[in-house]
Amino acid sequence: MSSVADMEKKMEELEKRMDTIEEMEKSQACGDAEELKKENEALRAENEELKIKLEKDEYRIKHLIRSLEEEEKKEEVIERLNYRIRTLVRSLNVAEGRPANEDLKALPASAKPKVEESDPFWGVDLVVGRIVKAWKHEKADKLICEVIDCGEAFGGERKIASGLFLFYRPEDLEGKLVVVVANLKEKPLVGYPSHGMVLCACKEDHSAVQVLEPPADAVPGMKITLEGLPASTEATKEINLRSKSNKWDAAQPELRVDANGEAVYKGYYLTVNGKHLKAASLTDVPLS
């Protein structure tokens, strides 16, 4: 019996000690929790201060970025207007039989707009092609069907349909060097699988259209570049003209022939083999 009583007594003592330890642990935990609470409140207050400061800095940065963007846009608009004015003066001089550059000194200097590596021009493959065969489309009055050699690097011969029948006889196009927009997605034109576009100088009312002509020593497959600028190193992608934000639609408004009939993009001459590309006689009109 005594042994049982001793065991019960020991168990009671153990239970008391366990209760004491538990209370101590609770007390310690409460103390730690209180410390943690104070520390947490201090951190939270510091975090709020940092958040307010960050929001103010972010607002200043956004405001600064907007200001810089607005200034850049203003400068770009002014540059383009100056360039356009000088181009119009050259055209007027030529039309009236005066030297093309007459009276330009009185105008503001025309700085060329920047052509960054991200410019849509670099996403368009303008390539020298040679028309191997051409014939009138059987069902479309304005279309000429062509087979054009675009060089091995661009798939060799390909089929393209162009709205040129009102301006060229098909037989006159055969053997002719042209510029092809080579990375357009293939699209049937009245049943003819057209894979690309022949770049032409066009009057605004389409009363006159002339193919853009590479120099005589150009070879199919040569890529058109901008004079004085390094070509982009990014690979071009296929352009779907049905997409609202495609590279061709973004670049095309800046392509034109100047007062001398030479092809330019944002004031930079289009070149191949170190030479400029020209329209036969049209001047100061868009390229499309």
Mark which of 111, 137, 167 sits at the end of a domain: 111
pLDDT score of 1 more than 50: no
Please give the average per-residue pLDDT across 140-155, as a whole number: 94
pLDDT score of 160 more than 90: yes
Q: Give dist(CA 236, CA 154) in Å, integer.
A: 12
**Whole-Å CA distances, 65 to 52, 53, 102, 114:** 20, 18, 41, 19
Phi/psi of residue 285, each to 5°?
Answer: -135, 160
Query: Which residues does residue 189 pair with via DSSP β-bridges, in sequence order?
Result: 192
Please give the average per-residue pLDDT across 108-128, as a whole number: 80
Pair (45, 132) in one structural domain: no
CB 144 within 8 A of CB 170: yes
Pair (136, 259) in one structural domain: yes
Please give the average per-residue pLDDT across 115-141, as a whole number: 93
pLDDT score of 71 more than 70: no
Q: Give dist(CA 38, CA 188) in Å, integer.
A: 74
What percent of the chain is predicted at pLDDT more than 90? Answer: 48
More confident residue, 165 or 31: 165
The count of domains in the chain is 2
What is the band of 62 on the pLDDT scale with cuts at 50, 70, 90? confident
Please give the pLDDT value at position 105.
53
Q: What is the pLDDT of residues 260-285, one digit of tens each?
A: 999 999 888 999 999 999 999 999 99
Q: What is the pLDDT of residues 163-214, one digit of tens each?
A: 999 999 999 999 999 999 999 999 999 999 999 999 999 998 889 999 999 9
Residue 284 lies in a domain: no
Q: Give dist(CA 243, CA 70) in Å, integer.
A: 28
Domain span holding position 40:
1-111
Pair (198, 241) in one structural domain: yes
Residue 288 lies in a domain: no
Pair (14, 152) in one structural domain: no
Q: Give dist(CA 148, CA 133) in Å, integer.
A: 7
More confident residue, 121 or 78: 121
Burial 113-149 (b: 16+ CB within 10 A, else e): bebeeebbbbbbbbbbbbbeebeebeebeebbbbbbb
Q: What is the pLDDT of residues 221-239, one digit of tens each?
A: 999 999 888 877 677 888 8
CB 189 within 8 A of CB 196: no
Pair (262, 153) in one structural domain: yes
pLDDT score of 69 more than 90: no
Read off the CATH number of the domain in which 170 is found. Answer: 2.40.50.140
Please give the average per-residue pLDDT across 12-39, as a whole number: 58
What is the band of 114 on the pLDDT scale with cuts at 50, 70, 90? confident
Pair (262, 148) in one structural domain: yes
**Whole-Å CA distances, 234 to 67, 117, 237:** 30, 8, 9
Please give the pLDDT value at position 241.
86
Q: What is the mean pLDDT of the chain?
A: 81
Pair (176, 95) in one structural domain: no
What is the band of 49 on the pLDDT scale with cuts at 50, 70, 90? confident
Pair (214, 257) in one structural domain: yes
